[in-house]
């Protein structure tokens, strides 16, 4: 991997992890464009660590509050939201990978994300704050987050949209979604480490230290900026522009997959 490729993949991971356009779908797309069969486990873990740092920096006050007072309702709600995601990932991750691996059908998944975002954008802001969520609300959000293990289905898009559908106000929908991303990102890192240990993914050392570090920095910085941008966008109710983007991208990829055969093969 060249230096510029590492930076681009880092930027993509950082931006699309928190923008509702799917980081997994974009990484698959650009790996196809770059001719990279698969990012190494080390690089994947570094990118996840970078996006995790971005969340910690932006929401450090909320996280510090959770650390100092772990036995509170927000902690329970985050645990409840994580449980369905873990169950779906453990039961269906291999199946989804077999069906959708290497970018198959990601065009359709992008379009699915677009419809969810359109629905969310049509919702009027509710009044619920995180502390007013029910356990059932958290379980529904966590289930939708679990569906986002599909490539090109946006995790942030699913969780934010579901929070809005459950009557949360826009600011708290964003806060809960991004706090819920912490165990989700940690879980993705654990799965990657598991694959390294079991040998399901062959360890490669061809990326090089400099491209990996450059990708890490790019992902951390762009991830932080993406969170700031998304919080502002959600407050203003402008998710429809992201839906337009994924509709166009999904349409192009479907055309390419079934007619042109230049990107997704």
Beta-bridge partner residues of 128:
168
Which band of pLDDT confidence, cut at 50, 70 and 90, is reported for residue 152?
confident
Question: pTM for this one?
Answer: 0.87
Q: Give the model's pLDDT for residue 82.
A: 96
Structure tokens at 83: 């449980």
Structure tokens at 170: 């826009």
Burial label for 174, CB within 10 Å (0-12, 13-18, 19+), is buried
Question: Measured between alpha carbons, how far is 88 from 120 in angstroms, rounded to an integer?
Answer: 23
Among 39-53, 99-113, 201-215, 227-241, the range of highest mean pLDDT:
227-241
Residues 168-202 have pLDDT tens digits of 998 999 999 999 999 988 887 777 676 666 655 54
Which band of pLDDT confidence, cut at 50, 70 and 90, is reported for residue 102?
low
Closest C-alpha among 151, 169, 137 to residue 73:
137
Q: Give the model's pLDDT for residue 150.
A: 86
Q: Give the model's pLDDT for residue 203.
A: 46
- Whether the pLDDT of residue 6 is over 90: the answer is no
Q: Give the model's pLDDT for residue 140.
A: 97
Closest C-alpha among 110, 54, 63, 60 to residue 229:
54
Among 8-22, 77-91, 179-193, 211-225, where is mean pLDDT lowest?
179-193
Among 35-44, 75-84, 228-237, where is mean pLDDT lowest?
35-44
- Whether the pLDDT of residue 106 is over 70: the answer is yes
Query: What's the mean pLDDT in 199-225?
Result: 78
Structure tokens at 72: 């509170």
């Amino acid at each position: 991997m060249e230096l510029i490729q590492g930076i681009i993949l880092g930027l993509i991971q950082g931006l699309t992890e928190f923008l509702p356009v799917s980081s997994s779908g974009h990484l698959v797309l650009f790996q196809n464009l770059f001719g990279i069969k698969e990012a190494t486990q080390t690089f994947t873990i570094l990118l996840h660590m970078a996006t995790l740092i971005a969340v910690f920096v932006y929401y450090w006050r909320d996280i510090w509050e959770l650390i100092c007072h772990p036995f509170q309702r927000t902690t329970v709600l985050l645990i409840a939201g994580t449980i369905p995601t873990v169950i779906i990932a453990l039961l269906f991750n291999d199946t989804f990978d077999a069906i959708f691996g290497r970018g198959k059908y990601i065009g359709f998944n992008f379009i699915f994300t677009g419809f969810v975002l359109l629905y969310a954008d049509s919702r009027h802001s509710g009044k619920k704050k995180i502390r007013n969520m029910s356990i059932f609300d958290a379980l529904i959000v966590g289930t939708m987050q679990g569906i986002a293990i599909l490539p090109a289905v946006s995790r942030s898009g699913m969780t934010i949209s579901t929070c809005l559908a459950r009557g949360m106000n826009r600011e708290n929908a964003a806060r809960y979604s991004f706090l819920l991303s912490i165990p989700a990102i940690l879980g993705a890192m654990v799965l990657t480490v598991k694959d390294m240990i079991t040998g399901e993914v062959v360890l490669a050392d061809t990326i090089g230290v400099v491209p990996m570090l450059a990708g890490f920095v790019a992902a951390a910085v762009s991830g932080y900026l993406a969170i700031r941008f998304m919080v502002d966008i959600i407050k203003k109710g402008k998710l429809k522009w992201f839906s337009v983007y994924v509709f166009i991208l999904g349409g192009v990829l479907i055309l390419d997959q079934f007619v042109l055969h230049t990107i997704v093969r």
